[in-house]
């Protein structure tokens, strides 16, 4: 299935328009290929996009690897045991430290950005959470409960366990929620808010579950053929990368045609391959719908803010936010802001001061 390499060509030839100057409605941020951040650590500037709206407000979107989202619940369960089983706690902390290396690094850096952002607010600003708004308070309540139980047991923990716990919590909670739980006073001029809808989130979960099952069945069918198996796995990776700049109007037809024109795909396997690829594209579409909802909500908020989100959503939300900005621009008489050059295409050191 060598012609699936066309997917890679699609990815490299279609990219986000990242501005090198500080202009209204231009996406500002690093120009590096974000897909590499799935497998290696990327600094906060590499994972940041921002847009300035016609009225001067600015919205930042920071993509991060949030790791396994079951860890907050697992920590809460361990701390709920009476008496605390420190051995079980250490096993869980060691598991998090092993599996969450990149999320831990992301969280450490993103907290520093958030602290600068909060320190420089002169008007109320939002700190966006990757969920729907009504889910924030129950989630925070669980995290507060975990934090309270951890403090209650802190004196009984050995020094090494304490260090592990302090290292993993920012990535387990998320940098924004961790900061809120640690220091609510820092949010004097900021508030937490979720911009997704439960409907969009549920739809993406269902569509992705179907995709995962179809992909699993396909892998099982080609398991005995090393070449076919590797081709399928590599094509899956290419489709994940396609997420970075996915546009259904541009990519769906190109990707499907590349499959249909690939003479190396065995005839008996073609229907199953196409069914799987359509399921992958359906997942990308569902994710993009979430991005549209999030961007629309942030634009309608009418304030500056920052959103922390899984990095697969970063460029999609930035593009959709740009569309919301252009809608506003059509109703404003606005001229471009003066250029401010920086190595990353935006002035990272001063982003939290505006």
Residue 6 is predicted with a pLDDT of 44
b/e burial code for range 143-173 (CB count within 10 A of at least 16 → b): beebbebbeebeeebeeebeebbebbbbbbb
Q: Is the pLDDT of residue 274 over 90?
A: yes
Question: What residues have CB less than 8 Å from 307, skipping those under 6 apart?
Answer: 59, 60, 61, 62, 127, 128, 130, 195, 294, 298, 317
Residue 265 is predicted with a pLDDT of 87
Banded pLDDT at 29 (limits 50, 70, 90):
confident
Residue 58 is predicted with a pLDDT of 96
Nearest CA to 304 among 126, 74, 91?
126
Residue 188 is predicted with a pLDDT of 94
Banded pLDDT at 332 (limits 50, 70, 90):
low
Residue 136 is predicted with a pLDDT of 87
Answer whether 181's CB lies under 8 Å from 143's CB. Answer: yes
Q: Is the pLDDT of residue 284 over 60?
A: yes
Banded pLDDT at 13 (limits 50, 70, 90):
very low
Q: Worst-scoring range by mean pLDDT, 52-56, 198-202, 237-241, 321-325?
A: 237-241
Residue 5 is predicted with a pLDDT of 47
Question: 157-203 pLDDT, tens per residue?
Answer: 889 999 999 999 999 989 999 999 989 999 999 999 999 998 988 99
Q: Is the pLDDT of residue 346 over 60?
A: no
Nearest CA to 317 among 300, 296, 301, 303?
296
Banded pLDDT at 119 (limits 50, 70, 90):
very high
- The two counts, helices (H) then strands (E), for the chain are 12, 7
Residue 59 is predicted with a pLDDT of 97
The three-class DSSP label of residue 330 is coil
Tell me what the mean pLDDT of segment 322-339 comes to.
68
Banded pLDDT at 81 (limits 50, 70, 90):
confident
Answer whether 24's CB lies under 8 Å from 54's CB. Answer: yes
Q: How far apart are CA 121 and CA 204, in angstroms?
A: 34
Residue 302 is predicted with a pLDDT of 95
Residue 343 is predicted with a pLDDT of 26
Q: Which helix (H) or strand (E) holds 190?
A: strand 190-196
Residue 39 is predicted with a pLDDT of 67
Residue 33 is predicted with a pLDDT of 57
Q: What is the mean pLDDT of the chain?
A: 83
Residue 84 is predicted with a pLDDT of 86
Answer whether 115's CB lies under 8 Å from 176's CB. Answer: no
Q: How many CB atoms lie within 10 A of CB 44?
A: 22
Kindly write down the DSSP assignment for every residue of 97-161, as one continuous string: HHH-HHHHHHHHHHHHHHHHHHHT-SS-EEEEEEEEGGGHHHHHHHHHHHHHHHHHHHTTS-HHH
Task: Report domain extents, the chain.
Answer: 22-198+306-353
Nearest CA to 24 among 338, 348, 345, 350?
338
Banded pLDDT at 147 (limits 50, 70, 90):
confident
Q: How far apart are CA 327 and CA 284, in angstroms?
A: 24
Q: Worst-scoring range by mean pLDDT, 31-45, 236-250, 254-268?
A: 31-45
Answer whether 176's CB lies under 8 Å from 129's CB. Answer: yes
Question: 33-43 pLDDT, tens per residue?
Answer: 566 676 678 88
Reduce the secondary structure of 146-185 to three states and give it as a string: HHHHHHHHHCCCCHHHHHHHHHHHHHHHCHHHHHHHHCHH
Q: How far apart are CA 350 and CA 50, in angstroms?
A: 12
Question: What residues have CB less than 8 Å from 205, skipping those under 6 apart?
Answer: none
Q: What percent of the chain has pLDDT over 70?
A: 84
Q: How far apart are CA 337 and CA 80, in angstroms?
A: 53
Nearest CA to 297 among 332, 329, 330, 324?
324
């Amino acid at each position: 299935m060598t012609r699936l390499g066309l997917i890679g060509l699609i990815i490299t030839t279609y990219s986000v328009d990242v501005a090198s100057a500080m202009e209204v409605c231009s996406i500002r941020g690093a120009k590096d290929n974000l897909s590499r951040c799935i497998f290696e650590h990327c600094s906060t500037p590499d994972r940041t996009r921002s847009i300035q709206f016609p009225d001067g407000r600015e919205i930042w979107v920071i993509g991060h690897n949030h790791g396994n989202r079951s860890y907050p619940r697992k920590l809460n369960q361990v701390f709920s045991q009476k008496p605390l089983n420190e051995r079980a706690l250490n096993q869980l902390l060691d598991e998090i430290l092993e599996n969450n290396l990149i999320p831990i690094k992301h969280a450490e850096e993103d907290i520093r950005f958030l602290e600068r952002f909060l320190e420089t607010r002169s008007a109320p600003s939002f700190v966006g959470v990757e969920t729907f708004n009504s889910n924030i308070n129950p989630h925070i309540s669980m995290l507060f409960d975990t934090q309270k139980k951890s403090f209650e047991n802190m004196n009984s923990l050995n020094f090494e366990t304490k260090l592990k716990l302090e290292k993993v919590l920012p990535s387990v909670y998320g940098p924004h929620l961790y900061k809120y739980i640690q220091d609510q006073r820092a949010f004097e001029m900021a508030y937490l808010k979720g911009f997704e809808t439960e409907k969009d989130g549920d739809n993406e979960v269902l569509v992705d579950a179907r995709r995962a099952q179809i992909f699993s069945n396909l892998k099982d069918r080609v398991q005995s053929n090393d070449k076919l198996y590797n081709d399928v796995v590599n094509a899956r990776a290419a489709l994940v990368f396609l997420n970075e700049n996915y546009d259904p109007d541009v990519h769906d037809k190109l990707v499907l045609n590349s499959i249909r024109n690939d003479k190396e795909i065995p005839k008996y396997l073609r229907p199953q391959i196409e069914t799987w690829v359509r399921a992958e594209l359906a997942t990308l579409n569902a994710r993009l719908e979430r991005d549209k909802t999030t961007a629309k909500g942030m634009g309608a908020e009418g304030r500056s803010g920052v959103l922390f989100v899984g990095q697969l959503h970063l460029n999609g939300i930035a593009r959709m936010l740009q569309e919301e900005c252009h809608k506003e621009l059509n109703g404003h008489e606005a001229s471009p802001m003066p250029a401010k050059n920086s190595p990353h295409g935006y002035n990272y050191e001063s982003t939290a001061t505006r």
